[in-house]
């Protein structure tokens, strides 16, 4: 006798499919600053309350990144550079120079696809694994941190980062130096308004994914930004010195509650 399909079977399959999609796309809501500040303080880049983590995305770029390395040397500051695997293979000498000058190299992904580009967990794992391998081969270090392009952390990317031993970290304040008409003073002021003690700053050491020469705005903003932090009694450095704990909690101490600058 032929079995009659249950009328609830299609509904059950649909519910499973929806649950899978929600599990993959849902975590991307952490892109919203209020969400991650409230629920995921370590993902927001919150570390030791007397330290500011300085990070750069989208490099390395043989045309622009060396200027940042020279500026950071003059300021006696080390930073974390979230690199793209494809860019690293295009500028391996610059990637090696990052490490030689004492900076930290982290994973930003293989390339910088639009956040709405179709993504799947297997593809996320392949691309993150490929970038980790590139960093290890070119720079001779094992990366520790992961920041997805555009800050869109899907469930697949989160799982892939965990599998590769990477800790996802977004940012607490960004300069938005790619906005048309942005100025160095405006970038420094914007970061200062959004940053608190223990925060993580996002800038870009290349204009690979933004308007032409926007990196120059970020470069000119660096001295004012670092000086502002130091005047408030904060140290500025890479994520490895930021004190983000394994559990994701912030180290003890009093967090500054007002704007930095």
Per-residue pLDDT of the chain (261 residues; tens, 9 = 90+): 445 455 554 433 333 333 334 344 545 455 456 666 666 677 889 999 999 999 999 999 999 999 999 999 999 999 999 999 999 999 999 999 999 999 999 999 999 876 556 678 899 999 999 999 999 999 999 999 999 998 888 889 999 999 999 999 999 999 999 998 999 999 999 998 888 899 999 999 999 887 778 999 999 999 999 999 999 999 999 999 999 864 443 444 334 445 566
Q: Running DSSP on this structure, what letter comes out for residue 255? A: P
Q: Residues 24, 51, 57, 189: which is the catalytic one?
A: 57
Q: Tokens 């903003």 identify what position?
A: 221
pTM of the entire structure? 0.84
Read off the DSSP letter of residue 31.
G
What is the rounded distance in angstroms from the CA atom of residue 137 to the CA atom of residue 83? 14
**How far apart (Å, rounded) are the C-alpha atoms in residues 231 and 221?**
16
- State the number of CA atoms in the 13 A half-sphere of 160 facing the CB: 27
Active-site residue, from 51, 204, 205, 242: 204
For 99, 229, 232, the CA distances from 192, given in Å and listed in that order, are 28, 8, 11
204 is catalytic: yes
Pairing of strands 200-204, 235-237: unpaired
pLDDT confidence of residue 14:
37
Residue with tokens 């993150």: 128
């Amino acid at each position: 006798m032929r079995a009659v399909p249950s009328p609830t079977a299609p509904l059950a399959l649909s519910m499973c499919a929806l649950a899978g999609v929600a599990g993959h796309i849902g975590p991307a809501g952490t892109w919203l600053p209020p969400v991650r500040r409230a629920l995921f303080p370590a993902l927001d880049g919150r570390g030791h309350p007397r330290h500011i983590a300085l990070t750069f995305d989208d490099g390395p770029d043989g045309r622009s990144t060396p200027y940042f390395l020279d500026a950071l040397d003059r300021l006696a500051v080390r930073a974390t550079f979230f690199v793209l695997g494809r860019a690293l293979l295009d500028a391996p000498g610059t990637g090696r120079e990052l490490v030689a000058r004492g900076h930290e190299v982290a994973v930003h992904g293989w390339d910088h696809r639009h956040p709405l580009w179709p993504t799947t967990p297997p593809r996320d794992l392949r691309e993150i694994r490929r970038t980790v391998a590139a960093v290890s081969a070119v720079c001779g270090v094992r990366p520790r941190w992961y920041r997805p392009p555009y800050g869109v952390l899907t469930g697949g990317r989160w799982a892939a980062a965990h599998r590769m031993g990477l800790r996802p970290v977004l940012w607490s304040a960004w300069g938005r130096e790619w906005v048309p008409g942005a100025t160095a003073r405006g970038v420094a002021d914007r970061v200062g308004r959004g940053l608190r003690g223990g925060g993580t700053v996002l800038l870009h050491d290349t204009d690979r994914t933004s308007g032409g020469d926007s990196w120059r705005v970020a470069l000119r903003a660096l001295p004012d930004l670092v000086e502002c932090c130091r005047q408030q009694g904060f140290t500025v450095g890479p994520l490895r010195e930021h004190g983000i704990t394994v559990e994701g909690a912030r180290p003890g101490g009093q967090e500054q509650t007002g704007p930095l600058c």
